[in-house]
Amino acid sequence: MIENVMRIRKLMSLALSAVMLCMLFLPTSLKAEEAKEYIAIRKQGAGRIAIALDRTSAKGGKESDWAKNIDGNVKSGLDFSGLFNLMQAPVNMRSAQGGALNFAALNSVGAQIYAGGSVSRVGNRVGLDMEVYDALSGKQLMKKSYSADETQLRPMALQFCADLIELLTGKRSLIFGSKLAFVSSRTGFKEIYMSDFDGQNVVQLTSSKSISLTPAVSPDGHYIAWMDYTSGRPDLYIRNLATKTTVAVGKPGVSIAPAWRPGTNEVATTLSYEGDQEIYLISADGKIVRRVTRSPGIDVSPTFSPNGSQMAFVSARSGKPQVFIQDMQSGAARRLTYSGTYNTQPSWSPLGDKIAYSSLQKNGEINIFVINTDGSGLLQLTGGSRNEYPSWSPDGSMIVFTSTRQGKRKLFMMNADGTNQRALLQIDGEQQQPSWTRVK
């Protein structure tokens, strides 16, 4: 019974992969039973998985180049997840060409898992055959074939990473197809950029030669909203990413920090055209839908719960900036943060249970905290410099943020518990205001 459920789950996730990746890949069987066993053996919080990655074998010059590319992308993808201790498989893994695997060699380097495969030419496409084994028992956990156009080697490698992570943790990673939107002053002006989840494939979206700030991509991936001064005023722009059509909200006063509401094509933002800084809902065509907050003083920085029914935001209504949560239907608001005197930039986890935010501290540092939505479990994640603008990964496992720990403002990543903090992107200028967008 359980095995059937596992198979159905596997089939559903495979179907999802096919839809997401436009029929690039031809999957074969996954060994559900062994995987289930393996997941059960790995306890919660067991630490990183020691995985030996073998060089993907290939015959021919072109095939060898493909193999190198795939190996590089598999390695960086698995490394990015923070789940693995990566090691190179020993050279004597196979006793003979196509022969049995030398698990003794693996055990001697302390590997728990072995992954390896081969690349071949399949018609005019690239074929990748991967196998995954439990190093201790020698059991095969996974055998899967992929195929892709040679321009899609990275997505194919990342598909394997996602499959491997699901195999070993039971959870489908939403990270590998996701994107980041952010601000960079690389050109001398603050402009909007997008990149892959790991900072690769950076694309410049605006050329305002002005000040462009706070990008946010809609949950369906169709629109990006941001604020810039090209009209002479800080105005909100919404661009259709496919057609490049752009509309401006065009109201007098400011527009600050847009956030899309899940389940809708509406974006919340702060406008001041009625005389006070309040949060409004705007449709993707730039029209005001309705006013959301009614409180004298600053109301800014909205972020929504996963189903869009609640909105966390910053308000000065109790004196200093604090994070509040408002029910979108009833309009009732409650205060969330009581620790500290300056709490801003809330970001609601896609898992729904936590909100990350930044807190200006007495010593002048700004640091990122996480709190449960019921107000319990306050946890400080960063220290030592100016760390701000947290944004969650689509599966709630990681947070991207801005840090000045290296001097200039740069983008950093960390796990949701604050571990594994590392720099993300190395391009000129300063980078800030990252927004992690869901998989399309």
Residues that bind other proteins (CB under 8 A): 190, 211, 213-214, 232-234, 253-254, 256-257, 270, 272, 277, 298, 300-301, 314, 320-321, 342, 344-345, 358, 360, 364, 366, 388-389, 432-433
Nearer Cβ to other proteins, position 133 or 401? 401
State in angstroms the smallest separation of the CB of 275 from other proteins: 8
State in angstroms the smallest separation of the CB of 283 from other proteins: 22
387 beta partners: 403
326 beta partners: 311, 333
Positive or negative: CA dihedral 305, 20, 203, 243: negative
Nearer Cβ to other proteins, position 183 or 217? 183
- Using CA atoms, how far apart are residues 248 and 90, in angstroms rounded to an integer? 58
Question: Cα dist. 68→61, 87, 254, 317 in Å?
Answer: 11, 16, 50, 57
Nearer Cβ to other proteins, position 286 or 321? 321
State in angstroms the smallest separation of the CB of 228 from other proteins: 11
Do residues 289 and 299 make contact, with C-beta atoms less than 8 angstroms apart?
Answer: no
Nearer Cβ to other proteins, position 228 or 266? 228
120 beta partners: 127
Nearer Cβ to other proteins, position 117 or 321? 321
Nearer Cβ to other proteins, position 173 or 301? 301
State in angstroms the smallest separation of the CB of 381 from other proteins: 16
State in angstroms the smallest separation of the CB of 297 from other proteins: 8
Do residues 218 and 224 make contact, with C-beta atoms less than 8 angstroms apart?
Answer: yes
Do residues 340 and 310 make contact, with C-beta atoms less than 8 angstroms apart?
Answer: no
State in angstroms the smallest separation of the CB of 148 from other proteins: 41
Nearer Cβ to other proteins, position 17 or 404? 404
Do residues 236 and 216 make contact, with C-beta atoms less than 8 angstroms apart?
Answer: no
Do residues 109 and 88 make contact, with C-beta atoms less than 8 angstroms apart?
Answer: no
State in angstroms the smallest separation of the CB of 325 from other proteins: 17
Q: Strand 223-228's sheet: what is its strand order?
A: 212-217, 223-228, 235-240, 246-248
Write out the DSSP string of 324-389: EEEETTT--EEE---SSS-EEEEEE-TTSSEEEEEEE-TTS-EEEEEEETTS---EE---SSBEEE
